[in-house]
Amino acid sequence: MISRKAKKYRFIDGESNKKSDGKTIYFGTRQSDVMLSFYEKDYEQCAKLKLELLRLSQVFRVTNVEF
């Protein structure tokens, strides 16, 4: 179990051409012992499968937890 607080975090709002590419938040750095990243997986899958976000959630029942 990790008991210390993360000293660094980074938030990226992946927005390009007024279309969201999803959000990502990183805790820690690549040089630290532990680095965590959370991202909106459905946006990645939409790009990979060339589907609209709504269609992806209907077909695969995929949804994100808001942060």
* The pLDDT value given to residue 59: 79
Inside any domain, residue 23:
yes
Give the pLDDT confidence of 11-65 residue by residue, as tens digits: 777 666 556 677 888 888 888 888 888 887 788 888 888 888 888 777 777 666 5
Q: Count of domains in the chain?
A: 1
Cβ–Cβ contacts within 10 Å for residue 22, how many?
A: 19
Inside any domain, residue 65:
no
Domain housing 46: 9-60
* The pLDDT value given to residue 23: 81
DSSP 28: S
Inside any domain, residue 4:
no
CB-based contacts of 25: which residues, under 8 Å, 6+ apart? 9, 10, 11, 12, 37, 38, 39, 67
